[in-house]
Amino acid sequence: MELSDIQSTIPDIRINLSRVGVRNVRKLVEVARVGKRPAIFISKFDIFVDLPGSLKGANLSRNFEVIDDVLQEAIGGEVKEIEEVCSRVARKLLDRHEYAERTEVRMESAYMVKRETPVTQTPCHEVVTVHARALAQRTSREPIIRKSIGAEVTGMTACPCAQNIMKDHAMMVLESLDMEKDKIEKFFKEVPMATHNQRGKGFLCIETDDDQHVPLEDVINVLKDSMSARIYELLKRGDESFVVMEAHKNPRFVEDCVRVMAKKVVGTFGHLPADARITIRQTNEESIHQHDAYAERHATLAELYAELNCE
């Protein structure tokens, strides 16, 4: 039986499509590492091509063949970094979908990171959500590829505004108990006052050309150091008091977190090209509200650099 191929016929309505493809394709991605066990990413992929108005359908099963090829290369050690996975897939898709001008691959992964707690150095794990994406555009020569790597990290934020009010209150009480000004000051230096604090989620994503290298570990570290305190899955008593103290010594609004990240991005990734696109987001799951507080910045590296140098 000769199977008819409806997809390659001309459709009744010849509208171009911006994206055609598959979503929520789940894969285990193993990236080989020299001298270590492979890094494992539990990933969900979205894979798209554009489709001209002259074709009824795209052949979606090709997407699976391409992604399986690249994942095999990753296990084999040919793909060196998680950020390479998407751009490899995007590039190969252009070969397999000869009618497409653009291909796009998005990946969202759960990734387990090993840590040590700050005081007792107890080893523990945390989950980071990794986001990667690549866009390939066909040209008369080599395709142009832009790729992004990003992460979402959970930390702790403490509110400076409520802390200030609590401090004003404590000062009044200490004054009424006849403590001297300079001792009060010494006290507040050693003992940060209470405030509401909560889980915060920082997100940072960096888009560059395909030949740039943006280490995932650096992205994660910028995020972890931009909230009021790092958090851990396992805290012994000494660790817990350290984390709570840290958070209260570094109270930050949702706006502050984004600005600290922006500054750290310029410090950490300053060697990247000026047109690198930076997206920063912070969501605080406010403990005093049911809703979340949110701040965001997107800009080129050059724009962030210029704003910082105006200060």
Site for its own copies in 236-255 (CB under 8 A): 236-238, 240-241, 243-245, 247-248, 253-255
Cα distances from 241 to residues 87, 162, 234, 237, 244, in angstroms, run 44, 20, 13, 6, 5
Segment contacting its own copies by CB under 8 A, of 25-33, 88-96, 131-139, 143-151 = 25-33
Q: CB-wise, 73 or 253, nearer to its own copies? A: 253
Minimum Å gap between C-beta 142 and its own copies is 26
Q: CB-wise, 21 or 143, nearer to its own copies? A: 21
Instruction: Please check whether residue 286 is in contact with residue 292, taking contact to mean a CB–CB distance below 8 angstroms.
Output: yes
Residues 202-221, interacting with its own copies (CB under 8 A):
none
Quick one: which of 300, 296, 295, 298 has its CA closest to 269?
A: 300
> Using the rule CB under 8 A, is 263 a contact of its own copies?
yes
List the strands of the sheet with 36-51, edge to edge.
Answer: 36-51, 102-116, 123-137, 144-158, 197-209, 277-284
Beta strand 277-284 pairing with 144-158: unpaired
The DSSP code for 269 is S
Contact pick of 28, 144, 274, 302 for its own copies (by CB under 8 A): 28
Q: Phi/psi at 40 (nearest 5 deg)?
A: -115, 125
Minimum Å gap between C-beta 308 and its own copies is 7
Q: Phi/psi at 9 (nearest 5 deg)?
A: -85, 175
Minimum Å gap between C-beta 211 and its own copies is 28
Give the list of residues 6+ apart from residue 304 with CB closer than 8 angstroms, or none: 262, 265, 266, 278, 297
Contact pick of 32, 118, 137, 166 for its own copies (by CB under 8 A): 166
> Using the rule CB under 8 A, is 26 a contact of its own copies?
yes
Cα distances from 257 to residues 181, 266, 296, in angstroms, run 32, 14, 10
Residues 93-152, interacting with its own copies (CB under 8 A):
110, 112, 123-127
> Using the rule CB under 8 A, is 87 a contact of its own copies?
no
> Using the rule CB under 8 A, is 274 a contact of its own copies?
no
Quick one: which of 70, 53, 73, 66 has its CA closest to 94?
A: 66
> Using the rule CB under 8 A, is 33 a contact of its own copies?
no
> Using the rule CB under 8 A, is 181 a contact of its own copies?
no
> Using the rule CB under 8 A, is 18 a contact of its own copies?
yes
Q: CB-wise, 30 or 209, nearer to its own copies? A: 30
Segment contacting its own copies by CB under 8 A, of 93-101, 138-146, 206-214, 280-288 = 280-288
Q: CB-wise, 128 or 134, nearer to its own copies? A: 128
Quick one: which of 103, 8, 88, 7 has its CA closest to 49?
A: 103
Alpha helices of 61-180 — where are they, by DSSP H? 61-75, 82-96, 160-176
> Using the rule CB under 8 A, is 308 a contact of its own copies?
yes
Q: CB-wise, 209 or 295, nearer to its own copies? A: 295
Contact pick of 103, 195, 250, 268 for its own copies (by CB under 8 A): 195
Count the site residues for its own copies by CB under 8 A. 120
Q: Distance of alpha carbon 184 from its chain centroid, rounded? A: 42
> Using the rule CB under 8 A, is 22 a contact of its own copies?
yes
